[in-house]
Chain A
C-alpha cells in the first residue's frame, strides 16, 4: 500500500509517496499563480493503483477534489519533520509567505505552535527580494556569503529592507556582506520565535531555505540548540501528509 501527500505552498507544490517505511518518490513544481493546476499535476505524476489514501495540505489544500483528507500544513510539517529526523522536539519552517515554529510532544503531535502570517518579514519572500536586489541567484547563497563579514540590517519590513539594501549598495558595501547581514537578520528574528515555543532538544529546520548551510548554521547560533535539516526537508509537509495518510488508511481498514 502507498499513500500520497501533496503540499501546496505559496511558492512550490510538493508531492511525496510513502510505503509505510520510506519515501518512495517525490516531485516538486513552482506553484506560480495556479495552485489548483499544480496540485493536479503533482497528483497525476504520483498517483497509481497502489495509492490508497491521499492527503492534501498547504494553503491550497482545499483545491484537490481527489483528496481523502485535508490537514493543515502545521500538523503535516510536524509529522514530516519527526519522520525525517527522529529525536527532534520542534520545527522551524521558513516558508514562502509565512514562518512558523512548532513544538512536538513525545508522540510527535503538535503541542504548541506560533506563526507569523501577518507580513513577509522573515520569510522566503524576504530572501527572494534580497536575491533580486543583490543580483545573487538564490542557489548560490552559500558560496556568495562564504567568509563574509555581515553588515547590520535594521529593517524588519521587506519593503523598508529593500531601500536599506539599496542605500548600503550605494555606500559601496560588498554584496556578500549585505547578503550575510540579511540572513542574520532573518535568523535572529526566527530564533525569537523558536525560543517562544520553548524547544529543549533539537530543532528541525524546514522550508525551501533549509537546503542552504548558511541558514542552518546561523539559526543554530541564535537558537543555541542543535539545528538539523534533511535533504528532503523541503518536502516535510508533503511527507507528513503521506505519513498521516498511512495511519488513516490503516485505521480505515
Chain B
C-alpha cells in the first residue's frame, strides 16, 4: 500500500470516501453483493456481514433533504430523522438507493414512527430493541437477533452459519480495537491531532466496506499520526470532550467553533465515538447470539432507561483524556439526550469540570451564536 505523504491528505481520503462510495456501491452491486442499510449502533452488523453483505450507515447529517421530509414529517422533529427520511424519499443518497433491506431498531420515538412511514416505500425490517438493559432485555434482543438472521436468510436465499457470525465478530472486534487505538492517541498531552480530523476518520470508516482493509488503514494511520507527532501543534489548547446526540457534517460547526477558539476536541462520547466502539463482543461465549445481544444492548445511548452506563463511561473518559471541559451537543427535539443532559451535567460538574449544553440543528442559522457561546466557554476554562 502506498502511504500518503501528509496527514491532511490521508484524512481527506477518508472523507472523500463518502463521494467515492457512490461508484463503489454500484460496482459492488454489480458483483451481486447485497446492501443492508442501518441507522443506529444497536444493529448487530456482524449478522449481515456474516452473509457477505455490505453494511451501510443511513443516519443522515445534512439539512439538504429536510424540506422534502417535512412534507410528511412534523417540522419540530429531530433533524437526523427528518434528513434520513428525506434522503430515502428523494433517492439522493446512494446507500438508501442501493439498500436491499433497511434495518431499524425501536430506539427513540421519532425513529420508531419514522420507520413505520419508511416501510411504505422501502423494504424495512425493524428489530425490537428493549429499552432496558435487564436480563429479560438481553433475552429478547437475542431472539430478535436470531429473527433478524432468519429474515436475511429468507430474503436473500442464503444460510448464515454460526461460524460465519463468529468470523464476522472477530473481524469487527479487530476493527474496534484499531479504532480505539486510533482515537486513544488523543489521550496524549498535547494531543497529536485535531478533533475535526479525528471525526472525519471515525465517520469515514462507516463507509468502508472491506472491513479488514479499513482496519489495516486505520492501523497505518495511527502509526503515521504517532510518527508525525508534533507536541507543539496543539500545545496549550483546552482539551474538550463532546457528548450528546450523533454529530456529523452539519454539526461540525461546533467542532470548528471549539477549535477556532483555542480548544481541541480530544474525545467523542457519542455514536461515532467511544459510546459505540468501546466495548468488544465476547468471542469466548459459545452462544454467538447471546454474545452479540449482551454487547449491543450495553451501548449507553439515552434511549435506554435507565442508562447507568453513560455516566460510568463519561467518568472514565474524563480521566483518561484529561478533559478540561465538556460540551454536550443535542439535536433539536432529541428528547432523550435533552432530558439526560441533567444527569450528565451533574456527573461532569461534580468532578469540577465545566460543562456546556448546546441545542442545535442542521442549519447554519445559529453559527454566530454557537461561536459566541463556545468562545465564552473557552474563555471561562
Contact = CB atoms under 8 A, between A and B. Distances in A.
A111 B380 contact: yes
A72 B376 contact: yes
Contacts of A72: 372-373, 375-376, 379
A59 B379 CA distance: 16
Contacts of A74: 372-373, 376, 379
Interface stretch (A113-121, A159-167, A225-233): A113-121
Contact of A117 (B354, B366, B379): B366
B369 interface: yes
Given A59-B368, A112-B354, A117 B373 contact: yes
A51 interface: no
Contact of B369 (A71, A111, A112, A117): A117
A221 interface: no
B376 A118 contact: no
Given A112-B354, A118-B366, A59 B376 contact: no
B380 A115 contact: no
A75 B368 contact: no
Nearest to B354: A112
Contacts of B376: 72-75, 110, 113
B358 to A, nearest CB: 10
A115 B374 CA distance: 11
Contact of A115 (B354, B368, B373, B379): B373
Interface string A88-132: 000000000010000000000111110101100000000000000
Contacts of A111: 380
A35 to B, nearest CB: 12
14 contacts: A59-B368, A71-B379, A72-B372, A72-B373, A74-B376, A75-B376, A109-B380, A110-B376, A110-B380, A111-B380, A115-B369, A117-B372, A118-B366, A118-B369
Interface of A: 59, 71-75, 98, 109-113, 115, 117-118
What are the 6 tightest A-B residue pairs by CB atom distance, in nearest-first order? A74-B376, A117-B369, A110-B380, A72-B376, A72-B375, A75-B379
